[in-house]
Structure 1
Amino acid sequence: MSCAKISHSVSRLARDQRLHHASRTIFRSRSTASPSANLIESKKRRNDIFNSQIEIQKERIGRIEKINVLYKGLPKETELVLNKYISTPYNVAQHLSQWVVKRGVLALVDDLKLWDMHRPLESDCSVQFLNFDDKDPFHVNKAFWRTCSFLLGAVVDNAFKDNISVTLHSFPSPNVKSGSFVYDVKLGLDDWEPTHDELRMLSAEFVSLARKGLILERLEVTADTALDMFADNAFKVEQIPDIASSNPGNMIVLYRVADHIDISRGPMIANTEFIGRATISAVHQLQTDLGKLYRFQGVALPTGILEYTVHKLNIGTQHRYMSNKMAHHNTGVYILLPTYMNNFL
């Protein structure tokens, strides 16, 4: 074995040992520990209610009605007859081609309404698909950052050992120009400042979840049902009435990925496989009226965007010197590349 290979192997071993040491401090080890009984029960109860609501809403559909759906886009406009309250934009894409299926990030219904790819269509309508390489991908970018924040909540909720309390608060509306995604969390830790290796561990968990290629399920429920689902989270219980009062019919919009459920008005991207390289770059302490919260912050790139960006900017290997700089390319995706991103480039 060459000296270079030996050096690389030693470096990799040292890194793995550091990460293992970090896992022994505050994080749950994926290989040796499972979530606490309380967390398992809480998630099971929430998912049981979610599943029962899906069945209740399916039963309300009754006799299946047909709707006319006009697809607008490449390769050509197509008229389809689909099932009301059952068929989704994703099903529209399936009727067209695998190429359309793979590209569809978000749907636009009747040239006006942003629509999740897996949300059932409710009436005769037209459907277009929005992608990251659109001339103006603003809405796709917002859905991307929103989805990343949602996944970040899922990662943090499962990351810490049982003796550290974790209560998810919320994630602010995405700001495309900020170039990052965040989630605010209350932790049973005093003045925690994550180490580089702890951030790497969180990043690895985030990337692992995204690479599972999970769909984002959307469900509308009553405020009472939402209060029942989140009875163990004082923050959510306080937020739900205000959110419901501003929504039509006082409904609450929920999303689920794997067994993680959270509140968001959406829309989200169709599938986590659209999330490419990512890193959790920082954790900030926030002093609020609710006490101390920790704001977890990350950056990510849509699948395939990084290579395109590097080519357009003609930066080649110089990307490692872009730490803490903001880069913008003509697809409209804003990219923040902090030092931690070097781990993924």
Structure 2
Amino acid sequence: MYQRCKSLCLTSNLQSRYKSILSKIEAKERRNLLFEEEKKRQRTAVGRIEKIEVKYLSPVEEVTLIMNKCISTPMDCAKHISEGVSKVSAIAMVDGSPWDMNRPLLSNCELKLLNLLSPENKVVNTAFWRTCSFILGAVVDIAFKQDVTVHLHSFPVPVIKSGSFIYDVYLDLADWKPTDQEMRALSAQYVKLINKELPIERIEISENLALEMFQDNPIKMTQIPNIAKTNNNKIILYRIGDYIDISKGPMVGNSSLIGRCTIASVHKIPEKENLYRFQGMALPKGVILNQYAYGLLENRARKFNDTTWPVFSEENNEVEDTKVLGRN
């Protein structure tokens, strides 16, 4: 009896907390304004421009580029090399570590650019899958009418072998089961967004600024202090278009690198109040499968993906699995 009363009280508290004082549009506009102001502040803080040497390593040559410290990015380097390289490069390796294409370079370094068919496929595939989840959050964020409360929860660490990328979302809808038409509409929105060929920006901000930016989302407000605690009071944000979210990254540099895609299913997460798992699958741009083979991947992506939410490790800020769904 006590547990039942406790559960009812928690449900009531969640529903009252999840009523934002800002509309979806107002909250998004405010978040983008703060993002732009912080980006300009960080650019101004660079001060006098210093030069760095970037040794670009490719299978056929080694080129030394003179770039601007804390301003130039791997994408800028790629554009200096050739238009073709800049269009296909997904992520960079800077001194052997994964690096976002649109993240400024901080010192002299060795640079390697990876495309979606590079031999280092695990690094690239993980970034690709993470980006797909990130964009899925952007689609769900605009998919519902204003009178439906939507709060993005998070997306777990990418697990390629699971067969689907995912995003967990709080919806103020009890036992919602989307129709086939609604699923097709979600897929259409996803395709529309990636076809805009938008760059994916990255910025590091303080915990206080993150709390200010996400004050309309009580779930993120709970997560931010825990993330900051393991990351020297820093929160990493990504933006595509006007959509901003939290992720440790890295992600691919542009939505144009995503090819054929489907939002395959939506599952209500067991024992979690009004929390739904959106699942999808996608192919890198240029990878072509016949309808039968693609259909097999779609069917696999429709099955409930029981990948767990991440917990940040204090040692290395990587994610570790923690079972919250009670399924294997």
Distance change >3 Å, CA 180–CA 321, structure 1 → 2: closer
> How far apart are the structure 1 equivalents of 2:188 and 2:241?
17
* Offset from partner CA, 1:263-297 (integer Å, 9 cap, x none): 00000101000011111100000134x62300000
5+ residue gaps, structure 1, are 1-36, 311-315, 326-335, 340-345
Aligned to 2:180: 196
Distance 2:294 2:89 in 1: 31
State which structure, 1 or 2, has the greater radius of gyration over its C-alpha atoms.
1
Q: What whole-Å deviation, never above 9, does each CA across 1:204-232 have from its counterpart, x for those lacking one?
A: 00110011000000000000000000001
Work out the CA distance in 1 between the residues paired with 2:83 and 2:120: 23
Label 1:196 to 1:90 Cα distance change in 2 as closer, same or farther (>3 A). same
Match of 1:268 among 240, 244, 251: 251
The letter of the residue matching 2:238 is Y
Structure 1 counterpart SS, 2:104: coil
Give the Cα separation in 2 of the matches to 1:253 and 1:274: 22
* TM-score (ref. length: structure 2): 0.82
Q: Tell me which amino acid in the other structure corresponds to 1:319.
A: A
Q: Name 1:258's counterpart in structure 2.
A: 241
- The TM-score, its normalising length taken from structure 1, stands at 0.79
SS of structure 1 residue aligned to 2:250: coil
The runs of 4+ residues in structure 1 deviating greater than 6 Å are: none
Distance 1:118 1:211 in 2: 19
Which residue, 25, 29, 44 being the options, matches 1:59?
44
SS in 1 for 2:174: coil
1:166 and 2:150 aligned: yes
Alignment of 1:2-17 (within 5 A): none
The one-letter amino acid paired with 1:222 is S
Number of equivalent positions: 283
Aligned residue runs from structure 1 range 185-334, under 5 A: 185-247=169-231, 249-288=232-271, 291-305=273-287, 307=288, 310=289, 318-319=292-293, 322=296
1:60-104: CA deviations, max 9, x gaps?
Answer: 100000101000004411001110000000111111111211221
Distance 1:154 1:301, change over 3 A: same
| 8 A Cα contact 1:69 1:126, kept in partner | yes
8 Å CA contact retained: 2:89, 2:116: no
Q: Which residue is equivalent to 1:93?
A: 78
- Quote the residue 1:137 is aligned against: 121
Report the CA distance shift for 1:50/1:321 in structure 2 as closer, same or farther (over 3 A).
closer
Farther off after superposition, 72-81 or 40-49: 72-81
Alignment RMSD (CA, Å)? 1.9
Percent identical: 49
Q: Whole-Å Cα distance in 1 between the matches of residues 43 and 295 of structure 2?
A: 53
The residue identity in structure 2 corresponding to 1:73 is S
Whether contact under 8 Å (1:146, 1:266) holds in the other structure is yes
Return the offset for 1:40: 1.3
Distance 1:317 1:162 in 2: 36
Distance 2:295 2:228 in 1: 46
Deviation (angstroms), 1:131? 1.6
Write the distance in 1 (CA, Å) between the matches of 2:265 and 2:25. 28
Distance apart, 1:177 and its partner CA: 1.1
Report deviation, 1:319. Answer: 3.1
Give distance in 1, aligned partners of 2:266 and 2:92: 33
Q: CA deviation at 1:320?
A: 6.5
Aligned-pair CA distance for 1:43: 0.6
Separation (CA, whole Å) in 1 of partners of 2:110 and 2:297: 44
Report the 3-state secondary structure (helix = DSSP H, G, I; strand = E; otherwise coil) of the residue aligned with 1:226: helix
